[in-house]
Each structure stands twice: as C-alpha cells, then as structure tokens.
Amino acid sequence: MKFCPNCGKELPDGVKFCPYCGYKLTKESDEITKEKSKNMTKGVTKSLQELKNLKKATQEAKPIHKSGSESFDKEKPLRDGSDVESVENSGKYLLPNKTIALYFILNLILQAGSSSSDEVMGIFIYTWIVLIIIFLRRNKEKPFNWLLNIIIFLQGILVFSVGMMTLDYIGAAGAGDSLGAIIGLGVLALLFITILLLLYQGNRSKQ
C-alpha cells in the first residue's frame, strides 16, 4: 500500500504522479511512503497493545475493588442501621396498648357496676373521647398530643372527685351497708392509677 508523501492519500499501484495533488513520485518518495506506512503500522500496533494492557490491568484490579466494596458494604448496614435506629428513637413512639386496654376495661366495669349518675356518665364520655382521639392519631409521630393529655388530665380530676365522694358515702353509711360502693371505690382507684400511667406512658419512645 502506497501513500503520497505530499498529501498523504492512498495511491494506486504503478502511478508516477499523485492523482490528487500532482506530486511526482520517485524512488526517494517511495522510500518516504514506505517509512510513513511502517511508522503508521507501528503506531497502530503500539496503541492496540496499550489498550490490551489497560484492559488487562482493569480486569486484574476489579476483584480488589470489589472486595473493598464488599467490606465497605458490610460495615455500612451497621452504621446506617444505627443512624436509622437513632432517627426512629427520636421521632417514633409506641402506644401503651396494654394500659389503654386496661383503661377501657375499668371504665366498662365502672359503668356496669355503678348507678347511672352524672359523674359516672361524665367519666365514660371522657373515655370515649380519649379512645376516639387515640384511634384517629394512632399513626401520628406523637399520638398523645397536648389536647389528649388535657382531656385525660381532666378525666383524672373527675375520677378523683368521684372517688372522694364515694369514700365520704362509705364513711357515712358504714362498711357493712356499702359493699357495692367499696368495690366501686376500688375500681375508681385502679382507674385513677391507669390514667396516671397513660399520662406518663403516652408517647413512649421505641427502645
């Protein structure tokens, strides 16, 4: 394959002048063309060899990079897990479901065992308001908000007042004639303690 030493284009065989630029071809120009062709071939060969060496080096380095990445990935879940856990502990809360269930059961017992007085009905109305708010806010970040805590606190005051009234009644009527009132007083005492637990455990962070 011959190339014109002047314009560098490929020449057909047996020509004495370049058909593209008109350059006169001599033996000296043929030698120059052969030298350029040889240098070009060497350059292409060298470039291909460098590409092969680069590809080989990349393939050899890839397992090392992979093992390093794997070791990093093994450590990453521990670090990320602790970060996620700290976020959950700071922003997510558990409802005290057992205390809420006890709170509801005691209210049912109080309603079933006591006379339908205005005070007992008031306690029961407070209970339904509290349970509805808890149900509506069960998926919130903090289910027990300030409004719910105020309502539970007011119910606690009412329960305490009814308990004191019941205690006065027992003292006036005598223990023998007021067995039902004594049982009701016990239920009121348990309910009051449960209300305090609700206020204390309302927004209990995850452990």
* pLDDT grade for 116, boundaries at 50, 70 and 90: low
The mean pLDDT value for 169-188 works out to 79
Average pLDDT over residues 16-45: 72
Mean pLDDT, rounded, of the chain? 75
Q: Which residues contact 182 (CB under 8 A, 6 or more apart)?
A: 170, 175
* Average pLDDT rounded to a whole number, residues 149-163: 92
pTM score: 0.50
pLDDT in tens, 55-71: 777 777 655 444 444 44
